Structure 1
Amino acid sequence: MPCSRRGTTEGLMAEFISDTVFKRDVFSETRAGHFADRPDTRVARRIVTASPLWSRPLAWFLAKREIRALRAVAGIKGTPDIIEVDADGLFRSWTDGTPLHLARPQTGDWYKDARRLLRDMRRRGITHNDLAKPQNWLMLSDGKAAVIDFQLASCHRRRGRMFRVMAYEDLRHCIKQKRAFAPNLMTPMEKRILARKSLPSRIWMATGKKIYNLITRGIFSWSDGEGTGDRIDREGPAIIKALDADPAIISAALALYPLPRKGVGIYAFIETREEALDLSKLNDAVSTRDKDAQIDLAQPVTSLPRRPDGEVRDDVLRLIAMNQITELDDLIAREPDLAPTVRPIIDGRLNWTDRRISRFEK
């Protein structure tokens, strides 16, 4: 899928060929692909001008922060390299790794390297400021750590109090990932750090975060994470209760997926012996419990993917809901036992919206 051409001082260069859309929100579209003259080199593309006109000034503000930060971290192992900036956005090197919520590192090596990465960034006066999201952390093929998505990163000329506070919060969020995926590795010092939020962080959570949520989730209808549970938190309990009450339904799990220009939708994976589902009927039952709750897509499945302890693999379902086929292929290659359960769900998926979404796809 041709998307754009690279421009340099020497004129037009090779065409960028997009093959996957990974994220879409009101500030940009993030794609993966390659340049026509280098088909074996994968590249990430953030298209800022794919955002709606009303959000574009802020979209460019965020993109410029990312560009500045990527230039500042150049050469640090585990950070992307910026390749080029054009009128539509930016190109950066592709980081071939597994998102942390899928990798779930269980040994101390990854967490040790993540601390090294933060130290290297800190030495250059860079704070990431968005490391609470496990999606922004990757595990590379050699087991080392990497970070992506520098839209909120800060470049500090002086290492004053604000820099120290932001660097501390980056570290604290790194430790939070360790607590989430390898709590047995937590040290007493790390537990004390988690218990001690910085004063600006406490003020932000009590005041600014609420305003931020009102604007992004209310006015923009946008969620600041890929797969965060905002709608599921609000509407999920009523949906699950309605589905549990249906005798034809064995079990159900919910995931979010992006809606073009309209925030996120709720995707229900429903374990049932029925071959088809009546979405209107399901939503009628949901509305009796919460008139504001709604299922946007409902897919019948023979069985849900689960871990050995019976926990539903919501990480897998999230990727299917978001139509992220490349990650699913990589996941199944790493965990082939999932294939018999997951392949039929992938083949029957209902979200195809990432196939043609903007003027950059022909």
Structure 2
Amino acid sequence: MTQSDFVPVTVLKRDAFSETISGHLADRPDRRVAFRKLEGLPWWSRPIARFLARREARALKAVQGIAGCPVLISADRRGIMRDWSEGTPLQLAQPAEAAFYRDARRLLREMRRRGVTHNDVAKPQNWLMTPEGRAAVIDFQLASVHRRRGVLFRTMAREDLRHLLKQKRAYAPGLLTASQHRMLTRKSLPTRIWMATAKPIYNFVTRRLFDWSDGEGTEDRLEREGPRIAAALDARADVTGHYTCAFPLPGRGSGLYTFAETGTGPEALRPDLPAGVPEHLQCVPRLPRDAGGTIDAALLSLIAANRLDEVEARLQAEPELRPVADVVLAGRLNLTDRILR
């Protein structure tokens, strides 16, 4: 299977280390797949990106056949292709049934038998609830395949389980047993050392250099800059509607994202706007609106934050929004999968 067999449909996210695209196989339009593309990356990130891709491919090969793990199709220097994992991210599904958490433990147990630890299940978006109510995991970039079942392996496997229990505490706290409560309060010694030494450095690199800091100041920016953006766009006869919201911005907390309903392009609007804001200005022929004509601010906020799972849930519930929303989605400017914290 080669990249030429892949038909891209939607860019899901993009960062310095890869671009993730959903699509289907050329000869099987009914088979939805995901492709982590490694081409076109900045020169400085390529060695890290290829290192992470090799880890992911190795881990995916090791977990093939485990229910709830992605099915690997191909992996080479251009990227990794896998079957699409159907399901709802944990922060949306919020499972409250004991059966889900039993199945999630089964999944981690089977991975452990293969010598694999995921190492990133602290993120709820890496857990899925399948349409059948079972557990699935995605994003194996940080996963490890262990040749020896020594202290390091046992510690990392324990941390995977502890992070699953943290998800259980968040969404179904009443299901936690006494022993699980104790496990949550007792970090392993390597974890405590990591938290005290390496974690601050890790946070600096990921949050200051590659990631997004918290959302502090978001409302202040909207209150300060929002009216100026609105006034500038209201003064233009060729803009028939607009909406501005916050979105995660690399290393600087949050940025402002403005959607403008207009037949012109952003280069024509920028001279009338305050210098440097908004960070993203997307011009669209139509904005999604409700039956009364009010702009659907909630849907646009989800698109600005690139929260595609939640967007899709809205569109499935309200299919009349899809024709307009699909056009906005296709041209969206924020392709990170981060969220404001």
Bin for the TM-score computed over the shorter chain: 0.7 to 0.9
Letter in 2 for 1:90: I
Q: 2:205 aligns with which of 210, 215, 221?
A: 215
Q: Distance in 2 between matches of 1:183 and 1:294?
A: 43
Which SS does the other structure have where 1:105 is aligned? coil
Match of 1:230 in 2: 213
Candidates 2, 8, 23, aligned match of 1:6 = 2
Judged with a 3 Å threshold, the aligned counterparts in structure 2 of structure 1 residues 350 and 245 are, in CA distance, closer, same or farther, namely farther
1:153 positional shift: 0.5
- Correspondence for 1:104 among 75, 90, 94: 94
Give the Å deviation of 1:205. Answer: 2.1
Taking structure 2 as the reference length, the TM-score comes to 0.75
The 1:252–1:110 alpha-carbon spacing in structure 2 relative to 1, beyond 3 Å, is: farther
Q: Which residue of 1 aligns with 2:73?
A: 83
How far apart in 2 are the matches of 1:41 and 1:100? 24
Cα distance, 1:35–1:256 mapped onto 2, change above 3 Å? same
Partner of 1:173: 163
Task: Tell me the equivalent position of 2:304.
Answer: 321
Match of 1:10 in 2: none
SS state at 1:230 partner: coil
Task: Describe how 1:28-39 pairs up with structure 2 within 5 A.
Answer: 28-39=18-29
Shift of 1:79: 0.2
Distance 1:189 1:243 in 2: 50
CA contact (8 A) 2:18 2:41 kept: yes
Q: Given residue 179 of structure 1, which amino acid in structure 2 is its aligned partner?
A: R
Contact 2:246 2:254 in 1 (8 A): no
- SS where residue 102 of structure 1 aligns? helix
Match for 2:210: what amino acid? W
Query: Is 1:131 aligned to residue 121 of structure 2?
Result: yes
Cα deviation 1:164-214 (Å, max 9, x = unaligned): 110111011111111222223333222221111122222222221221222
Q: CA 1:295–1:165 in 2, change beyond 3 Å: closer, same or farther?
A: farther
Q: What SS does the aligned partner of 1:49 have?
A: coil
Q: Which residue of 2 aligns with 1:308?
A: none
SS of the residue corresponding to residue 125 of structure 2 reads helix
Q: Superposition RMSD on alpha carbons, in Å?
A: 3.8
In 2: Cα distance, 1:280 partner to 1:231 partner:
30
Question: For residues 142 and 60 of structure 1, do their structure 2 counterparts lie closer, same or farther at Cα, with a shift above 3 Å needed?
Answer: same
Partner of 1:142: 132
- Distance in 2 separating the partners of 1:56 and 1:325: 27
Shift of 1:231: 4.7
CA distance, structure 1, for counterparts of residue 194 and residue 326 of structure 2: 40
Most deviating of 174-183 and 20-29:
174-183
- CA shift at 1:58, angstroms? 0.8
Look up the match of 2:41.
51
Deviation at 1:31, TM superposition (A): 0.9
How many percent identity over aligned positions? 46
Please tell me the residue identity of whatever aligns with 1:255: F
Taking structure 1 as reference, are residues 181 and 126 closer, same or farther at Cα in structure 2, changes over 3 Å only? same
Runs of 4+ with deviation above 3 angstroms: 240-246, 251-255, 262-265, 267-270, 278-284, 297-305, 316-319, 322-327, 339-351
Q: How far apart are 1:94 and its partner, in Å?
A: 1.2
1:267-303: per-residue Cα shift (whole Å, max 9, x none)?
Answer: 4689xxxxxxx9999979xxxxxxxx97534899746
Take 1:34 and 1:351, find their aligned partners in 2: how far apart are those partners?
20
Secondary structure of 1:34's partner? strand
Among candidates 98, 109, 124, match of residue 119 of structure 1? 109
Residue by residue, what CA displacement relative to the aligned partner does 1:297-331 show, whole Å, maximum 9, x if unpaired? 489974654xxxxxxxxxx6664124465762344
Match status 1:239 vs 2:221: yes
2:333 matches 1:353: yes
Q: Give the distance between the partners of 1:243 and 1:88, measured in 2 at CA.
A: 42
DSSP 3-state at the match of 1:53: coil
Q: Deviations over 1:2-48 (max 9, x none)?
A: xxx817xxxxxx53110011121111111111121111111111112
Give the deviation of 1:256 after TM superposition: 2.4
Q: Secondary structure at the match of 1:78?
A: coil
2: distance between equivalents of 1:106 and 1:282? 47
Gaps of 5+ in 2: 232-242, 260-268, 288-293, 336-341
| Distance (Å, rounded) in 1 between the aligned partners of 2:296 and 2:256 | 16
How many residues get paired? 304
Matched, 1:198 2:183: no
* Distance apart, 1:82 and its partner CA: 1.3
How far, CA to CA, are the matches of 2:253 and 2:2 in structure 1? 32
Query: Quick one: structure 1 residues 186 and 165, their matched pair in 2 at CA, closer, same or farther if it must change by over 3 Å?
Result: same
Task: State the distance in 1 between where 2:31 and 2:197 align.
Answer: 44
Q: Is 1:255 the counterpart of 2:241 in the alignment?
A: no
1:119-142 Cα shifts (integer Å, max 9, x gaps): 111111110000111111111110
Structure 1, unaligned stretches of length 5 or more? 8-13, 224-228, 271-277, 285-292, 306-315, 356-362
Contact 1:266-1:295 at 8 Å conserved across structures: yes
Identify the match of residue 332 of structure 1 among 315, 322, 331: 315
Task: For 1:202, give the aligned amino acid.
Answer: R
Is this contact kept in 2: 1:322–1:351, CA < 8 A? no
CA contact (8 A) 1:222 1:263 kept: no
Query: 2:147 is matched by which residue type in structure 1?
Result: R
